[in-house]
Amino acid sequence: MQVCSRQQQADFLQQLKIEKRASEHTLKNYQRDLRHLVEYCTQHNIDTWGALTSADILKHVAERHRKRLSSKSLQRELSAIRSFYMFLMQQGRVENNPAQYVKAPKQARKLPKTLDVDQVSALLDAGASSAIEMRDVAMFELFYSSGLRLNELSSLNLADLDLADKQLTVISGKGGKSRLLPIGTKAIEVLQQWLKVRPQIEPADNAVFTSMQGKRIGNRSIQLRLRKWCLKKGIPESVHPHMLRHSFATHMLESSQDLRAVQELLGHENISTTQIYTHLDFQHLAEVYDQAHPRAKKSD
């Protein structure tokens, strides 16, 4: 690789820093990504940036992938290369961008962890012995009952609840979208218990769930309360609020097989996001199949 190309890298990074106001973290990543590309060029006797082709970029990505680089990291490397070539094109140094249409291998999507129905029952039917535990159980029940996100639950105000009609309104969900959700009978019961003792705390605002000092309870506090509740009840599973949302989605889908309805309840903009729960459902069906089908069982 020619010496002038090193100067072009330096000029590119300087432009990112000054004009694009890129962070030091981004600059270091891009500098490292371009260094890997230079190593590829050196190994394959490529002397100029203009000599690199789309086939070379594909080969480079494949070699990096074989070194167990994650899809996310490969996507960032490709982004760095594309940006660099856009800079070179603006400078009149090259005529095209060989990385423009190259895509990184897709990341294997991790399936969210869920609780089964018995585990949820063990978590929620344990009973509350104080005002703070009444609040906690009401929060956890509402997570599972309505499939709320953590921020949606902490943002709930009294005006958002309609216990007579067994429903609540998420005023501003993800993406700023509102939606109407049903509340289950069990959640109604524990909410009513909490709302009876809530005035004794003299809340400072209209939050449904407040601390014992009357302030709206924050996301981190909710996470810690759930962890403490699980430890107290002897539940070994590491449960977090989103696990209750995942469990809600999975159990709803298993029972109804209505993907569109679950999409609406979860507030997903794209049904592809909801489809991850069909994989969870299939895992459940596969386990049932392996246990029940006479030709699926292993012979002794």
Q: Which domain holds residue 66?
A: 3-90
66 is catalytic: no
251 and 216 belong to one structural domain: yes
- Can you tell me the distance from the alpha carbon of 82 to that of 101, in angstroms, rounded to the nearest whole number? 9
268 is catalytic: yes
- Can you tell me the distance from the alpha carbon of 113 to that of 239, in angstroms, rounded to the nearest whole number? 9
Catalytic residue (choose from 60, 135, 251, 268)? 268
Last residue of a domain, one of 28, 55, 90: 90
- 111 belongs to a structural domain: no
- 209 belongs to a structural domain: yes
38 and 171 belong to one structural domain: no
Burial 181-190 (b: 16+ CB within 10 A, else e): bebeebbbeb
Catalytic residue (choose from 40, 85, 144, 277)? 277
CATH of the domain at 265: 1.10.443.10
85 is catalytic: no
Return the C-alpha torsion angle 208, 214, 218, 220, nearest 10. -120
Half-sphere exposure of 134 (CA within 13 A, CB side): 18
Catalytic residue (choose from 93, 179, 215, 242)? 242
150 and 277 belong to one structural domain: yes
Three-state DSSP string of 178-227: CEEEECCHHHHHHHHHHHHHHHHHCCCCCECCECCCCCECCHHHHHHHHH
93 is catalytic: no
pLDDT tens-place values along the chain, 300 residues long: 554 478 889 999 999 999 888 888 889 999 999 999 999 999 999 988 999 999 999 999 989 988 888 888 899 999 999 999 999 999 999 999 999 999 887 766 666 788 888 888 888 887 788 899 999 999 999 999 999 999 999 999 999 999 999 999 998 766 677 889 999 999 999 999 999 999 988 888 899 999 989 999 999 999 999 999 988 877 777 788 989 999 988 888 888 888 888 888 888 888 777 777 776 665 665 666 667 656 565 554
Last residue of a domain, one of 20, 55, 90: 90
CA distances from 23 to 20, 33, 86, 92, 256 (A): 9, 15, 19, 26, 47
Catalytic residue (choose from 174, 196, 220, 233)? 174
149 is catalytic: yes
CA distances from 165 to 93, 185, 264 (A): 67, 11, 19
295 is catalytic: no
- Can you tell me the distance from the alpha carbon of 184 to that of 178, in angstroms, rounded to the nearest whole number? 19
- 39 belongs to a structural domain: yes
Catalytic residue (choose from 76, 216, 245, 251)? 245
Catalytic residue (choose from 64, 135, 149, 246)? 149
Cβ-in-10-Å burial (0-12, 13-18, 19+) of 242 comes to middle
CA distances from 173 to 20, 115, 159 (A): 31, 24, 16
